[in-house]
Structure 1
Amino acid sequence: MNQQLNRFSLTVEEVYKIKTSPNLIVIGQIDSGQINVNEEIYCYRSTADKKYMRVTEIKRKGLSVAWAQSGDKIIICLEGSNLTKEDVHNGDILFKRQKWDEKQKAEETVELLVVAPMSSGKSTVINAILGMNILPSSNFACTAHKYKITINDKNEQVEVSVRVRNGKMEKVTDVNGETLKKINEDEISKEINIEAPSYGRLAQTRKIVLIDTPGANYSGNSRHRAVTDSIISEFSGNAVLYILNASQIGTEDDEKILKKIKGLLDKNKDMEIIFALNKADVINRDKESLDTLIRKQIVPYIKKVGISRFSIYPCSAEAALLFRRALAEDEMAESEADNFYKYFKYFYRDTISLYQYIYDSDREAEYETIEVDGEQYSRKSVEIALYNTGLQELENKLVKLGKSEEKGKTETPKDEIAKMNELFADVSIV
């Protein structure tokens, strides 16, 4: 996978100071990599004693955006402890925070329990977050063991180890989907640990751990059910990520698992639950709008189980995974290329924006083409299609977990633009 997204640097051109707060406004050009809202950066001059600053807003071409990449000229709002005009100067180079000491790791780790009934696309959602095919996926229950997937910037490549019955950890040398499939079917294996590089929205300063459970089939595989129940009862992390299948809402397995999850949430009052409504693209919008499905069917169904505080993020994990693989120039099988073309037509077609037609000579990389099965696609068009799958908004939610000041706070793009405009109304040149 292309790891250039994680090697971020920005050259500062102008710095402004917010009069009424310690925040800074910085204008600059991204030299390499990608930056996302809520990531932390630091100045090259202060490497001996780094002062980390959180990116709270990004503006590109006058619009508030969630991320920016190499070649973009951007305006960012930086938040930090006791920021002064001495912390950032014109000409400085800013880098993204990459590594932590052990204390920071413990404080900044976000742990998510990933749960779903069989055939909801749980493994595909995780693969899409990773940006590569790691976990085996099919229409049958694929995950038979507990998977612990750790995502952060210190990982340069995927590493897999397996805990066997005697408690020892054994490292896997040849890592691929087929290898994991065999390990998954092995009765000797007890737990599978995966260390993976971060990608896209999850290229964050905090370590994110996904605890993946077997795709529970309560009317079928008793072993999968027992493993899932055990993991749920022992979980004490930050949040539950529950994968719903948009084409199969309200199944018997869903209801049984959700009741188990409600018990977990009742014992852990600060724990959040986030629903990823996967396969949202299969909904026939000529017959029923996605908004109607969510508000009239899914929300009442979840509340009926007794869960009152939750959020729902529609997405298409399969499409997002294929778009990310294409952007990483990962070779695809013929059937995968056919699905890429189908999804590209669907998600790029629905884009109603003149943004795609902007040309800027400073952003030449966006106009490069990538090839899928002999067909040429502009990199920008695939990025737009990827954004429309909804996965990146789900990731935005995940990276905010554990930050108490953001709980219960939801901002629309209009809110973000208004906030940035308000900041700029009260700045003075440093």
Structure 2
Amino acid sequence: MAQIYVKYNPYKLETYIEVNGREIEKDSTLFKVIKGKRLQEWVGKFPEMLVNELNTVDFEIKFCGMDLDWDDFEDSFEGAKKKKIIKKLDLKYIQAKSHEDINERIVNIFTDLRHGPIDDFRDAKLLKAFDNINNSVFPVNVIATMSSGKSTLINALLSKKLMPSKNEACTATITEILDTDGEKFAAVIYDENNVVLQDISELTYEIMGELNEDENVHKISAEGNIPFLDSRTTALMLVDTPGPNNAQNQAHKNTTYRAINSDSNNLILYVLNGTQLSTNDDASLLTYVADQIKKGGKQVRDRFLFVINKMDGFNPEEEDIGKAVQSAKNYLSGYGIEEPQIFPCSAYTALNIRTYFEDVDIDNLTRSEERKLPSAARDTLPMIDKFIDFESMHLEKYSTLSPSAQRELDYKLKVAEEQGNTKEQALIHCGIYSIEAAITAYVKKYAKTKKVKDLVESFEEVLESNQVLTKAKTKVATDEKAAKAYAERSAAVKAKIADGKEAEVFKEKIAALDPIDNIENKADSLKENAARNTMKIFNHYGDVIRSRDEAKRLVNQFTTLSSDSIAALTSELESVINKEVVETGEQILFEYQEKLNKIDESATDKQLDFNTVDLIKGALTNMRENAEAWCSDNFAAETVDDVGEVSYEEKLYYEKVGQEEEQIVVGSHEEKVGTKRVKTGSHRERVGSRSVKNPKKKGFFGKLKFWESEYVEEDVYETVDDYKDEDIYKTIMDYKTVMRDVFEEKVEHIEKFTVETSVIQTGLVRKLRQNLDDGIDDALSYAEDQIDNMKNQFTMIFDELDSLISEKYDELEKCANDQKVKEAELEKNKKLLGWIEASKAEIDEALDM
């Protein structure tokens, strides 16, 4: 039986492994797989890798780490045992130290460093990088279909009735709620151009209702207390994200798909109506969710929490709750989402307990007191009884909680039962605590550890570069041979920087970096995929459509499917642009370091104990942090969304006048309108009015707009001509709605409607492709401008770094050649090295598991 010891530190992304008492080799397959990676990236394949590496199926394993990581580690090995990859398994957990205050400790350490002897810690660029990380916001996007109770769920999480509960299809705003632990909620209101409309110092349910009715309001940025999290360690933001049937404009739908296609620093709460699962509104979005999950591992899967709401609508005396939950799993599985994280819930019950009954002793209510309660509160009382009395309604049992989170919840329930706390028991059983526990676990496991890691990296390199310089100063002051070698290096490096030749070569390499071709190729692939997806709709129709309703249904279905495909393309294109831009920035940093290495190689053949790049490690790290913040998802969103939106409506009609007939063609709907006669004259007569679309100037990221506008009344006239007697037929069809019959008072209907499906298909697909081309061209053009801007900014920063290198070498030369400087530096450097070592030790101790 192989003996394995694994120690994992999520704050450093370090994994230590021993096999049979010996640390694994650096060149082993195991080491390469785990190096610098989060446990969740490799743990799924780890059991099988051990079997292949050690040629055994029997293991005794000890794991040292945090509870949440142990949950994943244990789950992976237990799963391998069930699949019979492993035969014998002895798993033991060694709990690492708990660091609930680690973020605060790291921030305090940085504050101490800023007041220390190293000026670099007061540099504006480092401070900016630190602030970017420390103030980063973790979004929880709440997505739902209509009537799923999304607003009620958000209110339940807030323990406050703030979000208006109404027909969500009417909601035209995006609401962001940032956790600040404040007593009151405040908000800033924006229009679609991100212009501030108003500041609201105290946001209420009534005001939120008015804002949601205001068509000028595009986004509400609110802040207040989200009770189940501590804002001091992680700035969590609940985002009321437009759902699949809630996107009144394309930009809102793009926002939804963008959230789904984001990185790990983003959690999705997908809310479903447990009493009415099957809805066409879910189809495209759930398929897209499944595609994203399939691309990643456990960490990606952990991002998606599926809340099955309105479970209070089930009758446990007549219905099997377990089967209802299984139905939800089967429903998601039908879209390709296997083993989803399910959280059955009654948000309505939770909200009412946390609001109406906050200060009410519900166990001792008199009948008179009960009658005085609001109707919603009275309705909740039997629900509370149902969740407590019926074990099948204990929804936490069906939730996908980690073992550690489940243990915490079990303990909370035990305490509530011992204390006879009915409200607390009901809150546990109605599922709201399970959702909050899952959000908290994800934040702790991924967001918090990443934030701490990034914070530490932002100033560890500064300590190391100063340590290198301080040691070098000490050496040149005490070792003549070293002083001579350093002097040679210094002179050569400064000369190379001064003559500018290396800089010119470097700038030429930067200029040659061009990710646009890659972006364009991938954009073309995305465009073709979007077109293919929309083409599928025509497979359900024959060659000829023979009814007005069927034609209308086809065009409406194409409109919806195209809108979904566009949203998917938009989010994917943003990811492509963001990835290429970041990789370009990393390549620029690599080229700069290569430039410095070549200067070192040409400077001297003596082996010195540091490289020139070591002197500016801290500055490079700060630059990288600021570049990553600049090249964030916001950059990509701007690139794609802000290229201008143009409304569009294709009528596809032509008229032939003066040839004994008039046709308005987008099909061949024939309606008899009279008889044909020899023309003797003509005049116009008003025959009524009709509703027509009034386009608004907003739409998809490039050009496409799917008639998201309102009707206006327009007078209808008919030209009356004199002809010899013959039948006249008029063919009418509207591209979007199969136009209403505007000649209703004048026509005699006949039962004949024929339109070739290919006619509709050609017009729809042609215009879709045209607008996709225009939109992608605009996005590429904007991306190219931004990349050029990045190159210019990087080049200027590298000029500053060259100057900084010269300054560092000047310090070394003075320390080597000036006796007074040498003596002063020796004492100063001794203290400084001690301070640096102590600071590094303090950081290591704070992060030690």
TM-score (normalised: structure 2) = 0.32
More helix per residue: 1 or 2? 2
**Which of 192, 198, 201 is the matching residue for 2:226?**
198
Q: Does 1:273 align with 2:307?
A: no
Residue 349 of structure 1: CA displacement? 3.0
- Relative contact order: is structure 1 or structure 2 higher (C-alpha 8 Å, sep ≥ 6)? 1
Cα distance change, pair 277–389 in 1 and its aligned pair in 2 (3 A): same
**Which of 332, 335, 349 is the matching residue for 1:305?**
335
Residue 266 of structure 1: CA displacement? 5.5
Q: Does 1:163 align with 2:190?
A: yes
Cα distance change, pair 234–135 in 1 and its aligned pair in 2 (3 A): same
1-structure distance, mates of 2:208, 2:446: 39
2-structure distance, mates of 1:181, 1:192: 12
**What does the per-residue CA deviation read over 1:362-419, in whole Å, with 9 as the maximum and x for residues that have no partner?**
xxxxxxxxxxxxxxxx8x221221121111011100011155589xxxxxxxxxxxxx
Residues 243 and 256 in structure 2, CA contact (< 8 A), matched pair in contact too? no
2:71 matched residue in structure 1: none
**Which of 350, 358, 374 is the matching residue for 1:334?**
374
1:387 matched residue in structure 2: 428
Residues 269 and 307 in structure 2, CA contact (< 8 A), matched pair in contact too? yes
Residues 269 and 304 in structure 2, CA contact (< 8 A), matched pair in contact too? yes
Cα distance change, pair 194–238 in 1 and its aligned pair in 2 (3 A): same
Residues 238 and 402 in structure 1, CA contact (< 8 A), matched pair in contact too? no
Cα distance change, pair 405–356 in 1 and its aligned pair in 2 (3 A): closer
SS at match of 1:147: strand
1:133 matched residue in structure 2: 161
2-structure distance, mates of 1:189, 1:137: 17
Residues 184 and 203 in structure 2, CA contact (< 8 A), matched pair in contact too? no
Cα distance change, pair 289–404 in 1 and its aligned pair in 2 (3 A): same
**Which of 97, 109, 113 is the matching residue for 1:79?**
97
SS at match of 2:442: coil
Equivalent residue letter for 1:163? Y
> Where do 5+ consecutive residues of structure 1 fail to align?
1-19, 23-53, 58-76, 84-93, 360-377, 407-430
Residues 152 and 206 in structure 1, CA contact (< 8 A), matched pair in contact too? no
Equivalent residue letter for 1:387? I
Residue 152 of structure 1: CA displacement? 4.1
Equivalent residue letter for 2:422? S
1:349 matched residue in structure 2: 389
Cα distance change, pair 187–267 in 1 and its aligned pair in 2 (3 A): farther
Q: Does 1:256 align with 2:284?
A: yes
Cα distance change, pair 388–404 in 1 and its aligned pair in 2 (3 A): closer
2-structure distance, mates of 1:400, 1:197: 19
2:324 matched residue in structure 1: 293
**What does the per-residue CA deviation read over 1:293-320, in whole Å, with 9 as the maximum and x for residues that have no partner?**
223x222221221223530011110100
Residues 163 and 208 in structure 2, CA contact (< 8 A), matched pair in contact too? yes
Q: Which has more radius of gyration?
A: 2
Cα distance change, pair 228–339 in 1 and its aligned pair in 2 (3 A): farther
1:419 matched residue in structure 2: none
2-structure distance, mates of 1:324, 1:100: 34
**What does the per-residue CA deviation read over 1:123-152, in whole Å, with 9 as the maximum and x for residues that have no partner?**
111100000001001355353211112124
2-structure distance, mates of 1:381, 1:279: 20
Cα distance change, pair 174–289 in 1 and its aligned pair in 2 (3 A): same
1:374 matched residue in structure 2: none
Cα distance change, pair 105–349 in 1 and its aligned pair in 2 (3 A): farther
Cα distance change, pair 141–79 in 1 and its aligned pair in 2 (3 A): farther
Cα distance change, pair 357–210 in 1 and its aligned pair in 2 (3 A): closer
**What does the per-residue CA deviation read over 1:83-110, in whole Å, with 9 as the maximum and x for residues that have no partner?**
9xxxxxxxxxx9x979979659648743
**Which of 196, 201, 223 is the matching residue for 2:248?**
223
Residue 56 of structure 1: CA displacement? 6.2
Residues 174 and 239 in structure 2, CA contact (< 8 A), matched pair in contact too? yes
2-structure distance, mates of 1:225, 1:56: 42
Residue 225 of structure 1: CA displacement? 6.6
Residue 260 of structure 1: CA displacement? 3.4
2:784 matched residue in structure 1: none
2-structure distance, mates of 1:144, 1:312: 28
Correspondences of 1:15-414 after superposition (within 5 Å)? 79-80=97-98, 103=131, 106=134, 109-141=137-169, 143-153=171-181, 155-169=182-196, 170-199=198-227, 201-203=228-230, 205-217=233-245, 223=248, 227-233=252-258, 236=262, 237-265=265-293, 270-271=299-300, 272-295=303-326, 297-308=327-338, 310-326=340-356, 328-329=358-359, 334-350=374-390, 358=418, 380-404=421-445
Identity %: 26
1-structure distance, mates of 2:8, 2:218: 52
Cα distance change, pair 202–326 in 1 and its aligned pair in 2 (3 A): farther
Residues 151 and 208 in structure 1, CA contact (< 8 A), matched pair in contact too? yes
Residues 245 and 279 in structure 1, CA contact (< 8 A), matched pair in contact too? yes
Cα distance change, pair 103–399 in 1 and its aligned pair in 2 (3 A): farther
Cα distance change, pair 203–403 in 1 and its aligned pair in 2 (3 A): closer
TM-score (normalised: structure 1) = 0.59
1-structure distance, mates of 2:177, 2:438: 18
Equivalent residue letter for 2:209? K
Equivalent residue letter for 1:347? F
Residues 319 and 343 in structure 1, CA contact (< 8 A), matched pair in contact too? yes
Cα distance change, pair 98–135 in 1 and its aligned pair in 2 (3 A): farther
2-structure distance, mates of 1:196, 1:208: 11
2-structure distance, mates of 1:119, 1:315: 14
Equivalent residue letter for 2:435? L
Cα distance change, pair 222–396 in 1 and its aligned pair in 2 (3 A): closer
**What does the per-residue CA deviation read over 1:2-24, in whole Å, with 9 as the maximum and x for residues that have no partner?**
xxxxxxxxxxxxxxxxxx999xx
2-structure distance, mates of 1:294, 1:108: 36
Equivalent residue letter for 2:425? I
1-structure distance, mates of 2:338, 2:436: 22
Residue 276 of structure 1: CA displacement? 0.7
> Where do 5+ consecutive residues of structure 2 fail to align?
1-6, 10-64, 69-94, 109-129, 361-371, 395-412, 448-849
Q: CA RMSD in A?
A: 4.0
1-structure distance, mates of 2:380, 2:318: 25
Residues 416 and 424 in structure 2, CA contact (< 8 A), matched pair in contact too? no
Equivalent residue letter for 2:310? K
SS at match of 2:147: coil
2-structure distance, mates of 1:80, 1:386: 28
Residues 142 and 215 in structure 1, CA contact (< 8 A), matched pair in contact too? no
Cα distance change, pair 339–142 in 1 and its aligned pair in 2 (3 A): farther
Equivalent residue letter for 1:383? E
Residue 254 of structure 1: CA displacement? 1.8
2-structure distance, mates of 1:287, 1:386: 23
**What does the per-residue CA deviation read over 1:167-211, in whole Å, with 9 as the maximum and x for residues that have no partner?**
233312342112111111212112111112121x33463221122
The alignment covers a number of residue pairs equal to: 301
Residue 337 of structure 1: CA displacement? 2.2
